[in-house]
Chains A and B, each alone.
Chain A
Amino acid sequence: MAESLSVFHRELKKGSAELLILSLLEARPRHGYEISQLIDSRSDGALTFNIASFYPLLYRLEKRGWIQGRWVEKAGQRRRRYYRLTPAGRQVLEQQRNSWLKFVAAMQRITGLKHA
């Protein structure tokens, strides 16, 4: 039981990772660590990405042109790479959001899940 649940959890996480990252960059540019921390904190620890899976994800999004990275050096800080949404990324974010909402509504109707 525990194993199938963790598989379920893993599959869900995979499918939502892109949406998570994109939505977090909607407000303002962020660097990698910041994004991963936000995911952790805002989900109350339910969703975590470790470094080895997170950055490949980020680079893939950058390769597709949905986000763009830029080195920023602030006084007294090591340089960090900040990412922001591109116009294409914004479009994708919108599409994925809508998809998720439809999906969740459909699940509710079938399974009788209620909003917490």
Chain B
Amino acid sequence: MPDFQQLVRVRLRDSGLPPAREAEIIDELSEHLRQRYLALCSTGSGEEHALKTIIAELDLRDLAAELRLIEQSRSEPVALGAPNPPRFWTAVGQDLRYALRVLRLNPAFTAVCVLSLALGIGANTAIFQLIDSVRMRTLPVKNPEELAVIRSANLSRSGHITGRYSYTTNAMWEQIRAHQQAFTGVFAWGNDTLNLSAGGQAHNADALWASGEFFDVLGVQPLLGRVFHAADDQAGCGTPGAVLSYGFWQREFGGDPNITSRTVGLENHVFPIFGVTPASFTGVDVGHTFDVAIPICSEPVIMGERSLYNVRHGWWLAVMGRLKPGWSLEKASAQLATISPGIMQESLPTAYSPDRAKRYLEMKLAAFPGATGLSDLRRAYESPLWLLLAIAGLVLLIACANLANLMLARAGTREREIAVRLALGAARGRLVRQLLTESLMIAIAGAAVGMALAAGLTRLLVNYLSGRIYISLSIDWRVLGFTTALAVLTCILFGLAPAMKATSAPPARVMSLAGRSTATRERFSLRRALVVLQVALSLVLVVTAILFSSSLRKILSIDAGFQRDGLLVMDVDFTRLNLPSSERVPFAESLLERVRALPGVEGAAETSTVPLGDNWWNDYVVVDGKRIVKNVNMSRVTPGYFKTMGTPLLAGRDFDQHDIPGSPQVAIVSQEFARQILGTEDPIGRTFKIDVYKGEAQPEYQIVGLVKGSKYTDLREDLSPLAYYPLAKDGKPDNGTEMMIRSSLSLEPLLESLRHAIAEQNPAITIDFHVLNQDITRSLLRERLLATLSGFFGLLAAVLATVGLYGVIAYLVVRRTNEIGIRMALGATPGRILRMVVGEAAFLLSIGIAIGCVLALSSGKLAATLLYGLKPYDPLVFVVAATGLAAIAVAASLLPARRAAHLEPTVALREE
């Protein structure tokens, strides 16, 4: 019998068929040939003739080529259960359904993965959203990229400074408006707080002084009624009208559709309402919104004596403009620079001394980017926010490492399933794609939950940042893109490596191990490396948390120079009483007496500047004819002030009833004044003058008292020279005063009795309260934010790292069960086993901590500027952090260690 198999094999030599398939075809065709041969022989054909016939039939076509064509399309990987290789989108659909099923069948695993990812992504998104709002989002006006801020590049202001962005005086603004050529339109604006109520407790509104061009240049269309224009802003306009913000209109007027027929009272002046701005417009001050916008020309009417409209050294405005088409910032700055000398000359404050005037005239205006508006918030919070984002990023990294570890562990348990599929012809690429789909689903779920968490977290953060800060929190494309990118990145990070690893083990080897894990050394080293990375990063975060918490603690315990607790500040405004100047001081004193007489009030006094408040007054002084170029902070106070504040009087006397108008000018100074200005420890009897503006009297003050130094504007500042003067001798008293009240009563009853007492005197008096300690705490917002968030992240990181370490150690125990059994059989005590396992944990831990220390030290510079009272490489902090982390990690590894130590040797040995 001829060798039919050989006949066929020879003709299939160049077919390129897979060996298995080729063998099949050879079998089939050779059997066909055999039967054909037998049939031919049985019909009388000779053997030789029969063979020739079948060979001829075989060679009629190029079998190899035909089969090659057919088999090429057959050899595509086929998903299990499908008779045909599926098309692309069908395959994707299959992958998704399969992934969903796998994840549903392992709820605990899925939950842990999604949750850790959600926490990481949520934290990052929340902080990025804040950064986006504060830093990056452009103003919701027409073409914000055309806007520019016009101010002096070398600002040198002195005089009356008020408002958040007081870069310009009114005189300077008018000059800019008249002579600028680089802008299609310019406007000026300023911020203030104005009282809406007619008496009693103040009800304040955030006011926006706006020049007539404000809304037109910004391109803001009113929602209701109209906005004001240049024609409404003419000098001497009185009270032409006000524009309300959408939020204010809703809150105060209930969204009244007839708002344009109503009026609003500001500091007891009635303004008709022009209209309402759209909800999206909140001014050009990022982080703050406005309630009422009024034309600049109304300022003299509202502010009365305090008006800065015609005061050439009154700084209260900021100027912005819209660039002409084709004009760049550089070109505009150049134009502004050429007209600056003229502008400065025309607007020069007449009261300036020669060298102040010189500095003023040297100022050069320039154009700065204005697309994102102005923001003091940005200044204060930009670097902390970026730092927090970096921290949150590290947390996400740790979470990803955890997830990678979990995926690797799970890939180990699915080895057999994967091996079977590979053996059945699944392509490695398809399997990797399938595993990636699973991690992609986890990433998407994590991102979705993370975004929900982020929304809540951001809201919490904004509330924490004191309700007075206003940030628009609508999700915009940048945040969405950021979160999506994070999700995809984490998917690749924790999905790809395990997927590649899982499909790399040769299937035959896997199946021959009959269900046991291959657990290659390689894969376990990766998991160990991941845990070391987690521990290292956690150490960095724990160190950061400790640094910021310590910093905050240090600041809070700073000696302010007075007793902080139990102090209430009462702002008193009696403008409505229209008292002549000479009656104001006695009137305020009578109020003070009333307050002092109240039960529960231990002390009360007036001051012109509340410590650590928003006002300040400083000047240079002249000693023995020589001007000392050092800022001296000043305040006018009544007798009893120092006792009320709890500031010790070290020498001399307090002000008393003899210090009245007409009596010699006296002053009380602080120790720093004595040392730095007079160069002595005993200043009593010495004299000095204040370096005043031209045209003002320059009396000589005799020092009658010495007090301990106290903080003036900021808790963190160094103590500055302080000088106090009797309030009674104030030649230009205000229509109001600030009272410092010390009481042991609880807040509400005290406020109630104060309101009552003041109303009794005259119900037209307006009062407002704030607790000094609360103001101070609010001013430490940045430090509190850093301490709280870094603390939270540090804790989170430590937990994640501990979970990771636990997982690896538990896995280690399982893997070495056999070995442990042998050891125990050979006489090892449970104690020794425990030490062995914990030792492994300690080993990984110490490498992680060492790397973490290096990382923390090298990145310490980033946080240095935000710390107070300690350096970023404070060794104690590192020791505490390392010890803390080590303690919880070792505790976590004790659990599997104990389990290992209590294994039954016989059971352990049975595990192969």
The answer to whether A and B interact is yes
Q: How many residues of B sit at the interface, in one of the four size bands? A: 20 to 34
Q: Are B28 and A50 in contact (CB-based, < 8 A)? A: no
Provide the bound-state CA to CA distance between A68 and B84, in Å. 12
Q: Are B70 and A60 in contact (CB-based, < 8 A)? A: yes
Bitwise interface map of A from 31 to 66 toward B, beta carbon under 8 Å scored 1, else 0: 111001100000000000011110110011001010
B 5-40 contacts with A by CB, 8 A: 24-25, 27-29, 31-36, 39
Shortest CB distance B14–A (Å): 15
Q: Are A51 and B57 in contact (CB-based, < 8 A)? A: yes
Shortest CB distance A38–B (Å): 13
Interface flag for A74 (CB, 8 Å):
no
How many of A's residues come within 8 Å of B, CB to CB? 21
Residue of B nearest to A55 (CB): B29
Q: Are A65 and B61 in contact (CB-based, < 8 A)? A: no
Q: Are A51 and B28 in contact (CB-based, < 8 A)? A: no
Residue in B24, B27, B32, B61 whose Cβ sees the most chain A Cβ within 10 Å:
B32
Q: Which of A63, A71, A78 contacts B73 (CB 8 A)?
A: A63
Q: Are B31 and A78 in contact (CB-based, < 8 A)? A: yes
Interface flag for B311 (CB, 8 Å):
no
Provide the bound-state CA to CA distance between A60 and B71, in Å. 9
Q: Are B59 and A52 in contact (CB-based, < 8 A)? A: yes
Interface flag for A97 (CB, 8 Å):
no
Interface flag for A109 (CB, 8 Å):
no
Shortest CB distance A37–B (Å): 8
Provide the bound-state CA to CA distance between A32 and B66, in Å. 17
Provide the bound-state CA to CA distance between A33 and B28, in Å. 9
A residues within 8 A CB of B826? none
Q: Are B31 and A80 in contact (CB-based, < 8 A)? A: yes
Q: Which of A32, A51, A81 contacts B58 (CB 8 A)?
A: A51
Interface flag for A28 (CB, 8 Å):
no
Interface flag for A115 (CB, 8 Å):
no
Interface flag for B844 (CB, 8 Å):
no
Q: A51-B36, A56-B66, A63-B70 are in contact. Are A81 and B84 (CB under 8 A)?
A: no
Interface flag for A114 (CB, 8 Å):
no
A residues within 8 A CB of B108? none
Interface flag for B60 (CB, 8 Å):
yes
Provide the bound-state CA to CA distance between A68 and B34, in Å. 23
A residues within 8 A CB of B653? none
Q: Are B54 and A51 in contact (CB-based, < 8 A)? A: yes
B residues within 8 A CB of A14? none
Provide the bound-state CA to CA distance between A36 and B32, in Å. 10
Provide the bound-state CA to CA distance between A55 and B36, in Å. 14
B residues within 8 A CB of A80? 28, 31
Q: A56-B67, A63-B73 are in contact. Are A33 and B35 (CB under 8 A)?
A: yes
Provide the bound-state CA to CA distance between A52 and B71, in Å. 15
A residues within 8 A CB of B74? 63
Provide the bound-state CA to CA distance between A52 and B55, in Å. 10
Residue of A nearest to B63 (CB): A52
Q: Could you jot down 17 A-B contacts, CB within 8 Å?
A: A33-B36, A36-B32, A37-B39, A51-B32, A51-B54, A52-B58, A52-B61, A52-B63, A55-B67, A56-B70, A59-B71, A63-B73, A65-B84, A79-B27, A80-B31, A81-B27, A81-B28
- Interface residue ranges, B against A (CB under 8 Å): 24-25, 27-29, 31-36, 39, 54, 57-61, 63, 66-67, 70-71, 73-74, 83-84
